[in-house]
Structure 1
Amino acid sequence: MPGAKEKLTIRRVNTRNLQAKDSLEFSAMLNPAKYTRTSAVFYTEPQDSARGEERQRKLAKKAVDKLDLDELVLDGTGIVDAPASTGDVDAQVNLLRRVLNDPAGDANVVNAVVDVVWGTLVFRGRIASMSVNYTLFDASGTPLRARVKLSFIAYDQSGPMMGAPSGPQTRQIRVVAGDSLPLLCFTAYQDPSLFQAVALYNGLTTCRQLLPGERLTLPKLG
């Protein structure tokens, strides 16, 4: 509904068609106070040649982008207003691990590709690290509150984005629950910042709320 508070969502992605799997997602009980996006560039120093040519600093590669969520608070005290289906702290942690496909130390398991979506933030990647700090317990030792730190590495996809518009034609899509304009623009154009242009093209007065079943036109951009 208009004015509803948008929750940070971590949603599993099907790597075959790069569409979100609606049945497996985690919504934050409390949105984080901040997040950090980091990218770095690495260089190599080539060895001196036999001819004594001047050594040149050459770009080797650009490191993958990172996203760090410094603190997601999971609460089981009942103080925070949340749906009954949210469950206790252990249930919330287990759901988060399922969405992320946490290998629990098994190096042979590849973590799932997920979309981290909140407002204009759309980050597609895999979990690199997850730590859970339990800070409150009941008399039996059951966790009542936890603070989770997550670090993601961007998904390195080879080849063009599946379903991206090509040529001069436009195409129509049907909105499903959980879709947002930044997420749709990321999937179609690999650029979530184009959401305002798509909103204007479709005559939308708000970029926040999309109705399931609504049809949108994705124009050729750029």
Structure 2
Amino acid sequence: MAVLGSLEKMQILAYSDASFTTQLGPAFVVWINPASYTYKYKICYNNRQAQGSNGPSPDFNRIATDTVTLDLIFDGTGVVPSPNPSLLPPPNGIADQLAAFQKLVFDYNGTIHSPNYLWLSWGTLQFQCRLQSLGLDYTLFMPDGSPLRAKASCTFLGFTSEQQLAKEANNSSPDLSHLVTVKVGETLPNLCYRIYGTSLPYLRVAAVNGLSDFRNLKVGSQLLFPPLSEVPS
């Protein structure tokens, strides 16, 4: 296992397809992990109330899309260590950082005729999503007015492909075993999320595969993901 307290930076991965199989370039690694995030669930009801009744009788309508909201800090002062230690503080403040981030999460991708599909990966937070809103609050500047620090307030909408929704709707579908070849940048929690729809069984899957360090998977190795009902507690 990884040493308790070791620093792991949040990554944001971009994909060009709704099944999250074609990754677009390397992951964006944040400079400063968010201090907190909010994961919101919502159930929608039809607010039905009979004429003359004393109160409403809401009927279930649907489970609404999950949302994750968080703030990310961008810093070009040199005080905050870069995710890549070989990089020097950029001469133009945070302009390049923000441009790369905005291109990844917000800008229109002409190939897919929409912004990119995104995957937030940080510990047990494994969230397939798309950006709903982005607000930038600039708080520190160079003498020429170039921003040195900014806070990006982000809201992400959970995303599930039509194929996955169809599988989830078919409650009689068998829970099959999967043999997965590890690719660059993949972690056990996000593989569990992709296969099971939740990252929570990652420690049990690590035990099934005899992994002593689930955070550092060997690229090219094969991992067995048994039916969820057969993963030992």
Give the TM-score category using the shorter length.
0.7 to 0.9
5+ residue gaps, structure 2, are none
1:63 aligns with 2:55: no
C-alpha distance in structure 1 between counterparts of 2:218 and 2:88, whole Å: 23
User: 1:178 and 1:85 mapped to 2: Cα distance?
Assistant: 24
1:10 corresponds to which of 12, 23, 26: 12
Measured in 2, the distance between the counterparts of 1:123 and 1:99 equals: 16
Amino acid at match of 2:12: I
2:186 match: secondary structure: coil
What is the RMSD computed on CA atoms of the aligned residues?
2.8
Unaligned runs of 5+ in 1: 104-108
- Larger strand fraction of residues: 1
Q: Quick one: percent identity of the two aligned structures?
A: 28
Report how far residue 191 of structure 1 moved.
1.3
Q: Aligned match of 1:132 in 133, 136, 142?
A: 136
Quote the residue 2:147 is aligned against.
143
Q: Secondary structure at the match of 2:137?
A: strand
The amino acid that maps onto 1:119 is: G
Distance 1:193 1:14, change over 3 A: farther
Separation (CA, whole Å) in 1 of partners of 2:13 and 2:89 = 16
TM-score for both structures, normalised by structure 2: 0.79
The question of whether the paired residues in 1 share the 8 Å contact of 2:12 and 2:29 is answered with yes
Letter in 1 for 2:189: P
Q: 1:161 to 1:191 in 2, by over 3 A?
A: farther
Query: Deviations along 1:74-129, whole A, 9 cap, x unmatched?
Result: 111111111218854111111111111335xxxxx633210001011101111011
1:114 aligns with 2:115: no
Provide the residue aligned with 1:202 in structure 2. Answer: 209
The answer on whether the counterparts of 1:8 and 1:116 sit within 8 Å (CA) in structure 2 is: yes
CA deviations over 1:157-196 (Å, ceiling 9, x no partner): 223379x9x8575332221221111100111111111212
Between the aligned partners of 2:193 and 2:89, the Cα distance in structure 1 is: 28
Partner of 2:225: 218
2:124 aligned partner, one-letter code: T
Q: Post-superposition shift, 1:42?
A: 1.7
- CA distance in structure 1 between the aligned counterparts of 2:89 and 2:208, rounded to whole angstroms: 37
Alpha-carbon distance between aligned partners in 2 of 1:14 and 1:167, rounded to the nearest angstrom: 29
How much does 1:65 deviate? 0.4
TM-score normalised by structure 1 residue count: 0.83
Determine if contact 2:78/2:89 at 8 Å carries over to the other structure.
no
Would you say the 8 A contact 1:86–1:92 is kept in 2? no
Match of 2:163 in 1: 159
In structure 2, what is the Cα distance between the partners aligned to 1:199 and 1:125?
26
State the distance in 1 between where 2:208 and 2:31 align: 34
